[in-house]
Chains A and B, each alone.
Chain A
Amino acid sequence: MCKSDNELTTQNTQNIVNHFIWKSREHSKLVKILKIPIELNKIDCLTRLDDKEFRMACLREMKSQLNILSRSDGSVILSHGNTVVIASMYGPVEAKIQKTLIDKASVEVVFRPKTGLSFVQDRLKESVIKSTCESALLTMIHPRTSVILTIQELQDEGSLLACCINAACLALINSGISMRFTIAAVSCIINVDNEIILDANHIQSNKCRASMSFVFDSQKQHLVTSQTGGNFSKDQYDECLIKCREASKLIFEYYKQVVKKYAPII
């Protein structure tokens, strides 16, 4: 696991803090007036990126709808092909005494599987999502608070982790919390014939040698998180990284379209 995080100098931080405090005040006003919860039955008005572009990049079609839940500060339903998750975000809210950090906001991520209680395996997923979101959020401007992200799996047909991270990012965008950059996750697998398949579905992932998930930032396309499993060579890793980085640009483009569409009502 590798996280990258840009350290900001104190002076810079102060400027950013002032800027964002102003911005978030303005924003919350806006939200109060304009936030119109969209009901679940209107789910057909989904935002989608041109299928052709996605097929060329070998990514599955992405669909999403923001403001899917009326009570949370930011929520989204996101699908990558047939993998579907709902993410909701509350924050910054008062933190539990145990989890209070004096210099920054604590990020809590809860992953709920489709059936049953969350399991030890889900903790690994939660910790990856948590550390990824921590590097994207400007946690130092909300000290002693916590940001709670809940991700509910609805359907898993491969590349669940990438879908969860993208949904988390969209929920954060929807809530209007200050971020350093947005994040896009792309996963790929290396199959038994040493071919690289981006955004694999569950049938492809069942017979893979290795699986990888990468998260990139929107500013410089730097690697934020890399999560790998199975055995592979360094060259294969580099090739996957390059392919996923290219694909991540499409996801950022998708975020832009979503935000553009929802700009009048967010």
Chain B
Amino acid sequence: MNSSLKLIHPIRYYKEYLKQKVRPDGRGVSSFRPVSLNINSITTADGSAVIKIGKTSIICAIKAELTAPKPETPKHGLVCVSVELPPLCSSKFRPGPPSDEAQVATSFMNQLLEESNLLDLESLCIQVDKLVWVLYCDIICLNHDGALLDACVPVFIAALKTLTLPSVTYDTTTEAISVDLNTRHKVPVNHSLTAITHAVFQETLVADPSSDEENIVKEH
């Protein structure tokens, strides 16, 4: 089918394909794109992973730092997740402050972390009320071709599972911190999570939508 129809009548163009039970990229209605995952991609980070779902590619890196805990939760470590959608990943995004989509994804990831009991935050504690780990998890989208959250969740879990923290000893009397970079230990991850996106295009359920598909459907 010619590409001008796609530009002028994207909905009709898509409908013609769906009539034949196939999508413009050759997939069936309920088939997913191939997923590939690479772990420990960034050697300077404490934990990292890269995921590709079709053309969507996302990188996640975790950096650990030492900090004092919040007074209201003296035993809990801190985890900050941020999702970045830089202008390089899609023409939808402009340089400047984070877009709404990035902020929505960020708060989704933070909420997920909070409500799913994924990490035992007490395992990030070194000394109660004095010293805990803070994990900065940066999820950066390199190529945005739909199903952003489907990619963010597994890449984040994968990075967490590769995360190793150096062992730290805290001297309570002198308050001295000594870090042994050579002996590293893993952080227990309670369970794995997956996210699956479906789009609804005029009563048809379409699995794993690409960004072209996300633009024309109103429901997901």
From A43-51, A87-95, A119-127, the one touching the partner chain is A119-127
Alpha-carbon separation in the docked complex, A145 to B169 (Å): 61
Residues of A within 8 A of B107 (CB): 120-124
Alpha-carbon separation in the docked complex, A229 to B112 (Å): 7
Residues of A within 8 A of B117 (CB): 231
Set A3, A121, A124, A230: member contacting B220, Cβ < 8 A = A3
Residues of A within 8 A of B175 (CB): none
Are A124 and B108 in contact (CB-based, < 8 A)?
A: yes
Set B104, B111, B115, B219: member contacting A3, Cβ < 8 A = B219
Chain B 16-39 interface 0/1 with A at a Cβ cutoff of 8 Å (1 = within):
000000000000000000000000
Tell me the number of A-to-B contacts counted with CB atoms below 8 Å: 43
Which B-chain residue is minimally distant from A224 (CB atoms)?
B219
Are A3 and B108 in contact (CB-based, < 8 A)?
A: no
Interface size class of A (residues with CB under 8 A): 10 to 19
Question: Number of residues in B with C-beta < 8 Å to the partner?
Answer: 16
- The verdict on A2 contacting chain B, using a C-beta distance below 8 Å, is yes
Residues of A within 8 A of B104 (CB): 123-124, 127
Are A229 and B219 in contact (CB-based, < 8 A)?
A: no
Which A-chain residue is minimally distant from B103 (CB atoms)?
A123
Residues of A within 8 A of B115 (CB): 210, 229-231
Interface residues of B in 105-144 (CB under 8 A from A): 106-108, 110-111, 115-117
Interface residues of B in 176-220 (CB under 8 A from A): 200, 202, 218-220
Are B111 and A2 in contact (CB-based, < 8 A)?
A: no
- The verdict on A56 contacting chain B, using a C-beta distance below 8 Å, is no
- The verdict on B100 contacting chain A, using a C-beta distance below 8 Å, is yes
* Supplied contacts A7-B202, A121-B110, A124-B103, 7 more A-B pairs, CB within 8 Å: A5-B218, A121-B111, A123-B103, A126-B100, A134-B218, A135-B218, A230-B115
**Closest 5 A-B residue pairs measured CB to CB?**
A123-B103, A124-B107, A229-B115, A3-B219, A121-B107
A-B contact pairs, 7 of them (CB 8 A): A3-B218, A3-B219, A3-B220, A120-B110, A121-B111, A123-B107, A229-B115
